[in-house]
Structure 1
Amino acid sequence: MTVRRVDWVSPARFAPFLTACDDDEQLAWDLYEWNARVASALFECFHHTEVLLRNSMMTRLSTIHPLDYPWQQALESVVKATERRMDATTKVATPDAIISELTLGFWTNLLEQRPANEELWRKHLRHVFPGSPGTREAVHKAVTDMRNLRNRCAHQDSLLDFDPGIELKKLLSLVEWIDPHAREWIEGIQSVSAIALARPVPPVRDVVVIAATTETIDMYERVAAYVCGNDRSIAQVTHVGFYLNKQIEPYFPRVEERIVPARWNLEEVKRLSLSDAPADRDLAKVMGYCLKNGWEPGAQVQVFLLSPKKASSTTKRQGPIIHEKSGRGSAFVKNPRYFAHSALVAADNTTHLS
């Protein structure tokens, strides 16, 4: 048997994997190694996306007159990049060499909310993302999310609270905003999906319970879906539960598919409704329902397609799980909470889940 020692990675870093495996150290190592493979596979996608992003932005920026933007805001980054890539003989750094040295943070900063960037976006950078919702804020958020996850992977942090498949879809949506053909290419070579499916230990807490509203329940009952912002990190789960009015509802629909739509508007509803793929048509129904009920076109969301309440794949209980505590701050679910499927079936009240 291969020897593996916790002090190689530190007890603190290893702790989440032990917890996920009920303190089985052998399984925890398998999960730790899987986590590293997921991070590595995501890095391949980050690599291609970052190169596409910076080259596409630079192609557009190269048309700008030097006095049209206060480049001194980022001058230090450019100077340092020039110094690092300066040819020893000519004492000159080529534009391509400089661009390759500039960090993702440099390009993200050009999309930040600041007066100088507003005109830069309006006149130039919006054309880099023709498939986007059309706002600088939406693109900045997508690029920032990519940067944050890339940094998490680079620091070898746990990804157990993330769904690798959803993070991939968010990344592919950003790529599609720039060029749909680039999305097809990256999607065709990525290995994230296969590695995610090969998770050696399924999540013990495989049901996420959401703090719901009456609108949340109405959406589920009408179109069998749950929709939230794509910045909400929800781990891999098999089922969803709803907490409303001091109780967990007595049904837990199965997650049939999780989708991060690249577009969210009526034109996309029409396109998807004509698709041969059932999931596309289901997404069209959900998107159409949301747009008719107050969701803004261009919203960045993730969609959980769920089993209907009467479906055999939806777990049902005799009655709801009651939360008996009251008073300020006593809500049982505020942010998403995870539970074992078996615990939700057996619990009489929320004290059994604490």
Structure 2
Amino acid sequence: MGYDAAPPPDELEPLLSAERLGTYHRHAPAWGVPPISLYLLGGELAASFHRDLGVAEVVLRNALNDQLTERYGPRWWADEQLLDDRGQAAIAKAWTDARCAEDGPSGRLVAQLAMGFWVHLLESGGYVGKKPFRRRRYYDATLWRPALRFAFPNSTGIRSEVHAVAHRVYALRNRISHCEPIVGGVRIPGTMIRRSPAEIHDDIVTLVRWVSAPVGDWLAVRSHTPVLLRDAPN
């Protein structure tokens, strides 16, 4: 039984900040439930999304790592000519945080890299070095065409489209990680676009299907998120 399946104690609402509940007061009419009930439903949605994201993030990470390993070897991340400054900084941090060793397995470092790192690899690439020696890394030429596009055999093969979906999924992950409300949708950073919970769930399934159609179909059927959205009063 979920938190949203039974009325909470009267003492709960006063213990939640007015600022936090304000979001639920604004969205409660559209959902057709009291604000405190929407708050609890939002928690159930976040928990369900967290399980969905657990599949999507690992699938994405391993698919990209497998292709980069095949093209550049198991220590592709150590190639100074491959990644931009942002990517190299993420590698350095993961190396320190995971206490990696020169002769250690690459899997230790790969598992430490956050989802943002992998999504960034699907961008067009940034810069490396400082002026006057600053140079651009063109990920289309070094990462996407020779390696990463093969991680998404069921996609359109257009890097920007794959990145857009992965970026939206990452935006949801960040909101959930920071315990931010999702009942009003998820705004995509850098835009005014807001994706509803149902649309974001579709993005997760799409991203996984692009890597593996059977796994994506399984996730679509087994995920509890659509059940929560379907059974919501609205």
TM-score calculated relative to the size of structure 2: 0.75
Count of residue correspondences: 196
Give 1:92 deviation, angstroms.
5.0
Q: Is the 8 A contact 2:28 2:34 kept in 1?
A: yes
Query: Does the alignment pair 1:100 with 2:123?
Result: no
Give 1:170 deviation, angstroms.
1.7
Q: Which has the higher contact order (CA 8 A, sep 6+)?
A: 2
Runs of 4 or more, structure 1, over 6 Å off, are none
Measure, in 2, the Cα distance between the counterparts of 1:85 and 1:191: 33
Taking only the aligned residue pairs, the percentage that are identical comes to 21
Give 1:133 deviation, angstroms.
1.4
Pairs within 5 Å for 1:116-127: 116-119=138-141, 120-127=143-150
Q: Which amino acid aligns with 2:46?
A: A
Q: What are the Cα deviations for residues 64-101 of structure 1, in whole angstroms up to 9, with x where unaligned?
A: 335594236322322222222237xx785421111111
Match of 1:71 in 2: 83
Q: 1:141 aligns with which of 145, 164, 171?
A: 164
Match of 2:133 in 1: none
Q: What are the Cα deviations for residues 166-202 of structure 1, in whole angstroms up to 9, with x where unaligned?
A: 2211211111111101112212321001111232x43
Match of 2:17 in 1: 10
- Cα distance change, pair 127–27 in 1 and its aligned pair in 2 (3 A): same
- Cα distance change, pair 193–152 in 1 and its aligned pair in 2 (3 A): same
Match of 1:160 in 2: 183
Q: Is the 8 A contact 1:70 1:116 kept in 2?
A: no
Q: 2:44 aligns with which of 33, 37, 40?
A: 37
Q: 2:214 aligns with which of 181, 185, 197?
A: 181
User: Greater strand percent: which structure?
Assistant: 1
Measure, in 2, the Cα distance between the counterparts of 1:103 and 1:127: 21
Give 1:27 deviation, angstroms.
2.2
- Cα distance change, pair 57–21 in 1 and its aligned pair in 2 (3 A): closer
SS state of the match for residue 71, structure 1? coil
Measure, in 1, the Cα distance between the counterparts of 2:206 and 2:118: 18
- Cα distance change, pair 69–180 in 1 and its aligned pair in 2 (3 A): farther
Q: 1:150 aligns with which of 146, 161, 173?
A: 173
- Cα distance change, pair 21–111 in 1 and its aligned pair in 2 (3 A): closer
Give 1:145 deviation, angstroms.
0.5
Match of 1:170 in 2: 203
Q: Which amino acid aligns with 1:80?
A: K
Give 1:161 deviation, angstroms.
2.5
Q: Which amino acid aligns with 1:116?
A: Y
- Cα distance change, pair 36–125 in 1 and its aligned pair in 2 (3 A): same
Match of 1:85 in 2: 98
Measure, in 2, the Cα distance between the counterparts of 1:187 and 1:161: 22
| More deviation, 110-119/130-139 | 110-119
Measure, in 1, the Cα distance between the counterparts of 2:93 and 2:104: 11
Measure, in 2, the Cα distance between the counterparts of 1:143 and 1:21: 29
- Cα distance change, pair 107–179 in 1 and its aligned pair in 2 (3 A): same
Q: Is the 8 A contact 1:38 1:192 kept in 2?
A: yes
User: Greater helix percent: which structure?
Assistant: 2
Structure 2: segments with no counterpart, 5+ residues: 1-7, 126-136, 186-195
Match of 1:111 in 2: 122
Measure, in 2, the Cα distance between the counterparts of 1:190 and 1:145: 18
Query: Does the alignment pair 1:57 with 2:67?
Result: no
Match of 1:28 in 2: 35
Measure, in 2, the Cα distance between the counterparts of 1:72 and 1:121: 14
TM-score calculated relative to the size of structure 1: 0.51
Q: Which amino acid aligns with 2:115?
A: L
Measure, in 2, the Cα distance between the counterparts of 1:164 and 1:4: 29
Q: Is the 8 A contact 1:57 1:128 kept in 2?
A: yes
Give 1:107 deviation, angstroms.
0.8
Structure 1: segments with no counterpart, 5+ residues: 203-354
